[in-house]
């Protein structure tokens, strides 16, 4: 059974979701397994060819349509505890008709963005209308974290901070990125995550590729190394934190660019407050780097929301005029990338507070110099 919050948390979320369905003027939300379902009933069920769906009507009580063989696992979710009506079905029955059974004729439904085409197409055939996206309707609810979620995000931040604090145990010249990544993955689990969702070890020129994972490249003493790591902490909220390391004195050009990056990351974090727009946070980092002549070295958005998914709304990107509100959680992660040479990134997860923000990551932002050890040369 997946761990989850106290049942009252899900009761509140389900009630809110029904209100949002009503104000969006849809007949019902039809939520298949994925982050939206996990948010609403604490079930991390996977999606298969048989339809499982939580139907939340704008008017009336929710119904959980489930293959009979998955009944037991859903009974252990908050839906079971809350007495949500179950509509089990067996092979040969039409689950799409079952999902729509309690809705008015010609219903307009809204579906999760994670619903597979294998379910979406027959559902559309059954309703006769194009569905809307439940993900849009639930956006504010999912984006603004409640107290329970914020507490888990803080625990996730502390857990990944402990992994970064131990980096000198594994990261040294003479080892391959892959070997270091394997040790980091084990530490991510040991420090309280339920999985290592991603481990980026970008040494030397590989650090200039923001989505490089790791390779058989042997790390050298002169390298700058980008370490971007994270994973879920029960019940399912993710950490995501990047720090940049080295083993030797760096050329002035590297030190100067890194200092500018640190200032840009700080400027962006300092700009986070209720009422500011997502794009203004991106601009705070970007303008600082542009002023230092590094505009073309920062080649991605400044950040992404985080929670049950590693990447979710709000996206901290040019063109997003979304107004920040207390409870929103997202990364602030500018980087500088010198093609074929080196790269650096600094990433913290911040939560918008009433008058600014709180960073869940507390490790130093500095270009941290680790001992080179004795196993190189």
Q: What values do phi and psi take at 63, rounded to 5? A: -130, 135
Of residues 160 and 267, the one with the C-beta less far from Zn ion: 160
Q: How many residues at the interface with Zn ion, by CB under 5 A?
A: 5
Minimum CB distance to Zn ion, residue 200 (Å): 7
Cα–Cα distance, 248 to 242 (Å, whole number): 20
Minimum CB distance to Zn ion, residue 330 (Å): 9
Residues 319/315/317/131 CA torsion (nearest 10 deg): -30
Minimum CB distance to Zn ion, residue 145 (Å): 16
Contacts of 218 (CB under 8 A, 6+ apart): 173, 174, 175, 176
Minimum CB distance to Zn ion, residue 228 (Å): 4
Taking CB under 5 A as the binding criterion, the range among 26-34, 106-114, 268-276, 324-332 that sits at the site for Zn ion is 324-332
Site membership for Zn ion, residue 331 (CB under 5 A): yes
Of residues 327 and 334, the one with the C-beta less far from Zn ion: 334
User: What's the token pair of residue 179?
Assistant: 């070997």
Of residues 149 and 240, the one with the C-beta less far from Zn ion: 240
Beta strand pairing call for 132-133 and 109-111: parallel
Q: Is the peptide bond before 305 cis (omega within 30 degrees of 0)?
A: no
Minimum CB distance to Zn ion, residue 351 (Å): 15
* Cβ atoms 123, 109 nearer than 8 A: yes
Taking CB under 5 A as the binding criterion, the range among 94-102, 125-133, 167-175, 345-353 that sits at the site for Zn ion is 345-353
Minimum CB distance to Zn ion, residue 310 (Å): 7
Of residues 50 and 154, the one with the C-beta less far from Zn ion: 154
Contacts of 23 (CB under 8 A, 6+ apart): none
User: What's the token pair of residue 45?
Assistant: 């069920």
Of residues 312 and 347, the one with the C-beta less far from Zn ion: 347
Taking CB under 5 A as the binding criterion, the range among 2-10, 150-158, 330-338, 360-368 that sits at the site for Zn ion is 330-338
Binds Zn ion (CB under 5 A): choice among 44, 240, 262, 282: 240
Cα–Cα distance, 56 to 63 (Å, whole number): 7
Minimum CB distance to Zn ion, residue 184 (Å): 13
Contacts of 106 (CB under 8 A, 6+ apart): 127, 128, 129
Of residues 204 and 334, the one with the C-beta less far from Zn ion: 334
Of residues 218 and 317, the one with the C-beta less far from Zn ion: 317
Cα–Cα distance, 279 to 46 (Å, whole number): 34
Question: Can you point out the beta strands (E) in the chain?
Answer: 28-31, 53-57, 63-67, 85-89, 109-111, 132-133, 198-203, 224-230, 232-233, 237-238, 241-246, 303-305, 312-316, 329-332, 335-338, 342-345, 348-352, 357-359, 368-369
Binds Zn ion (CB under 5 A): choice among 36, 70, 191, 228: 228
Per-residue x/- marks for Zn ion, 194-223, CB under 5 A? Answer: ------------------------------
Of residues 134 and 281, the one with the C-beta less far from Zn ion: 281
Taking CB under 5 A as the binding criterion, the range among 160-168, 242-250, 268-276, 320-328 that sits at the site for Zn ion is 242-250
Residue 181 belongs to what H/E stretch?
helix 177-190
Site membership for Zn ion, residue 348 (CB under 5 A): no
Q: Between the CA of residue 144 and those of 262, 313, 315, 324, 332, what are the distances in Å?
A: 27, 10, 13, 9, 17
Site membership for Zn ion, residue 309 (CB under 5 A): no
Of residues 119 and 304, the one with the C-beta less far from Zn ion: 304
Residues in touch with Zn ion (CB under 5 A): 228, 240, 242, 331, 347
């Amino acid at each position: 059974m997946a761990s989850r919050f106290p049942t009252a948390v899900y009761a509140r979320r389900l009630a809110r979701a029904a209100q949002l369905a009503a104000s969006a003027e849809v007949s019902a939300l039809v939520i298949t397994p994925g982050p939206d379902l996990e948010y609403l009933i604490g079930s991390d069920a996977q999606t298969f060819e048989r339809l499982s769906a939580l139907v939340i009507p704008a008017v009336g009580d929710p119904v959980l349509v489930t293959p009979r063989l998955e009944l037991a696992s859903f009974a252990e979710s908050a839906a079971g505890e809350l007495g949500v009506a179950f509509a089990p079905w067996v092979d040969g029955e039409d689950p799409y008709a079952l999902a729509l059974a309690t809705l008015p004729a010609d219903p307009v439904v809204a579906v999760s963005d994670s619903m597979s085409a294998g379910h979406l197409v027959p559902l559309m055939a059954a309703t006769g209308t194009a569905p809307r996206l439940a993900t849009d309707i639930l956006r504010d609810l999912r984006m603004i974290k409640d107290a329970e979620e914020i507490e888990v995000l803080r625990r996730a931040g502390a857990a990944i901070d402990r992994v970064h604090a131990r980096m000198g145990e594994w990261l040294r010249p003479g080892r391959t990125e892959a070997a270091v990544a394997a040790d980091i993955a084990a530490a991510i689990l040991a420090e309280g995550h339920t999985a290592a969702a991603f481990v980026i070890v970008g040494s030397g020129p590989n650090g200039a590729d923001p989505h490089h994972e790791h390779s058989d490249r042997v790390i050298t003493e002169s390298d700058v190394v980008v370490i971007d790591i994270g994973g879920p902490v029960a019940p399912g909220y993710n950490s995501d934190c990047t720090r940049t390391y080295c083993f030797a004195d760096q050329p002035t050009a590297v030190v100067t660019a890194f200092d500018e990056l640190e200032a840009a990351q700080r400027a962006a974090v300092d700009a986070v407050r209720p009422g500011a727009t997502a794009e203004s946070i991106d601009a705070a980092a970007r303008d600082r780097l542009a002023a230092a002549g590094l505009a073309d070295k920062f080649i991605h958005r400044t950040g992404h929301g985080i929670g049950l998914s590693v990447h979710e709304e709000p996206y901290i990107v040019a063109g997003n005029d979304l107004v920040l509100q207390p409870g929103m959680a997202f990364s602030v992660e500018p980087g500088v990338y010198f093609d074929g040479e080196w790269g650096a990134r600094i990433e913290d997860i911040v939560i918008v507070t009433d008058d600014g923000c709180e960073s869940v990551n507390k490790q130093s932002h500095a270009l941290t110099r680790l001992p080179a050890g004795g196993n190189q040369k």
